[in-house]
Amino acid sequence: MTRGIVSAPQPEAVEAGADALAKGGNAVDAAIACALVQSAVDPQMCGIAGFGSMHLYLGQRKKHLILDFHGRAPSRATPDMWQDLIVKEAEDGFGFILKDHVNDIGYGAITTPMSLRAFDAALTRFGTMALKDLLEPAIAYAENGMMVRPHINYFWNSDEGGGRAPHAMRLTKNPEARKIYVKSDGSLYRLGEIVRNPGMANTYRRIAREGVDDFYTGQIAGKIVADMDANGGLLTREDLRDVKTNDTEPLWGEYRGLRVATNRPPGGGVMILEMLNILENFDLAALGHNSPDYIACVSEAMKIATIDKDEHVGDPAFVDVPLERLTSKDYAGERAGGIKQGKIAHVPRYNPGAKESKDTTHVSTADEHGNCVSLTHSLGMPSGVVTPGLGFMYNGCMAVFDPRPGRTGSIAPGKSRFTAMCPTILFRGDDPFFVVGAPGATFITMGVLQAILNAVDFGMNAQEAVAAPRFSTTSDIIDICNRITRATQAALEARGYTLRRSPLSYHFAGVHALRRTDAGWDGGADPGRDGMAMSV
């Protein structure tokens, strides 16, 4: 048995990760076991046809890297293919609304499926257990059924608004998806009901037997390509064949004497470091947690980082990202000076009016050997497409590309779009102190930031840090959860800010974290996402 801890949004997945530790696996085994079950019990948040970012600190092996597996635009994509279909830009800058949802739902929305290759690569290089064994719990949930939990029920029946396709359409438009998620009376499965997915179970069995190459170059690949060709998909056999993960060095910073390691572009780690650098110029504890002064200060840092992200941050293989400037203390000091002078940043948008879908999940693990994993993986926005007989849903990541040619986020074959995923580890000296990450689209960086501030500036434990009331400012509107007081809202509105109150008490990402103390690790699971933390 290996002692360790797992935190994730799905209890079933946390149990699978804990079981891997109990069988002697390490933090990597636990993270992949958890991720595979997540794909079976939360199949619109993630899946083997998704993408992600995996932050690995392997103390025993003295290895520290980011396993980058961001989805890429297929080879059939062109920069101008959708430029005449623009309706508006999403309010938070994370994607565009196009006519007939061509980038949002259906075969045109799909980028290269990366997650399965990444899970196998992580296990082969750094794990101690076999993928075929870790697939067994996921196969069981697909075969015997997953229970519709509160967050799944909320997602299926909610509408992002602003022009996005309703979530129910992602379950009902495609005939194969309908077979899985729609009952004989035409309704979606309800809270507490059991959804079975034999196609996914059979696909996972074949992968366990034949290996992941079958998905990318073998029989499963053949079925994927035939489906894409028959339905006007952009994905090709060559796109699948060429899928590989990339190792990148962590992006490093420092905050109040702690070393901060996060991911590089096209991930969102640069925003974390930029916001921390700005906020280090303020005594946040003296401002008071979630006071009007605190929310105004942190919101300005959020807006500044959002503006810089929109203008500069994309796939470094295609655009020159000014990392040194965006993460420098001098630049942060200049921007902090503007906040102190009372300057209010403006986030430009192209015909604003929509919100981005939050279809992602996360797992954080640590073990007694000094290994830590922070893994965020996603479908972006699920495309709604299921290939006949295969059971899994594809990502819908093309929606985040800018359909206007010549921009940082414009479409290009083989290009990854920006994602706010930012699996992050804080170190006290050489020892990991805080392992954190989240699902939640552009809310991800804002949720992770606040968890870090809660742990570092306010001394909260992991559960307190992820459960405290949050806000998010990715436009000129400060979005607040329903637990931030009306008096605070009124005080900010009196200063000229526009606020928007969510009906949800727990909102703006689903943050999951681990904190190391002299007594060991404690874990935090966001109460808004059904999950838990479990120690072994």
**191-228 burial, b if ≥16 CB within 10 A, otherwise e?**
eeeebebebbbbbbbbbbeeebebbbebebbebbbebb
Distance separating alpha carbons of residues 517 and 58, to the nearest angstrom: 19
Q: 3: exposed, middle or buried (C-beta count within 10 Å: 0-12, 13-18, 19+)?
A: middle
φ and ψ at residue 409, rounded to 5 degrees: -100, 20
Find the catalytic residue in 306, 360, 387, 424. 360
Contacts 24+ apart (CB under 8 A), 477-483: 477/91, 478/295, 478/299, 479/507, 479/508, 480/295, 481/505, 481/506, 481/507, 481/508, 482/507
Distance separating alpha carbons of residues 247 and 159, to the nearest angstrom: 37
> Strand runs (DSSP E) across 214-354, as ranges?
246-248, 251-255, 258-262
Q: Is 499 helix (H, G, I), strand (E, B) or coil?
A: strand
Contacts of 92 (CB under 8 A, 6+ apart): 306, 355, 356, 441, 442, 474, 475
How many CA atoms lie within 13 Å of 512's alpha carbon, on the beta-carbon side?
33
Neighbours of 233 (CB within 10 A): 23
> Closest Cα to residue 290, out of 278, 299, 280, 279?
299
> Closest Cα to residue 199, out of 349, 47, 55, 320?
47
360 is catalytic: yes
Distance separating alpha carbons of residues 301 and 280, to the nearest angstrom: 11
Take residue 221 and report the two structure tokens written for it.
Answer: 């690949």
Distance separating alpha carbons of residues 440 and 420, to the nearest angstrom: 8
> Closest Cα to residue 298, out of 470, 142, 170, 144?
470
> Closest Cα to residue 356, out of 112, 162, 170, 106?
162
Beta bridge partners of 434: 426, 515
- State how far the alpha carbon of 38 is from the alpha carbons of 4, 8, 309, 365, in Å: 19, 9, 29, 14
410: which DSSP letter?
B
Distance separating alpha carbons of residues 390 and 381, to the nearest angstrom: 19
Catalytic residues: 360
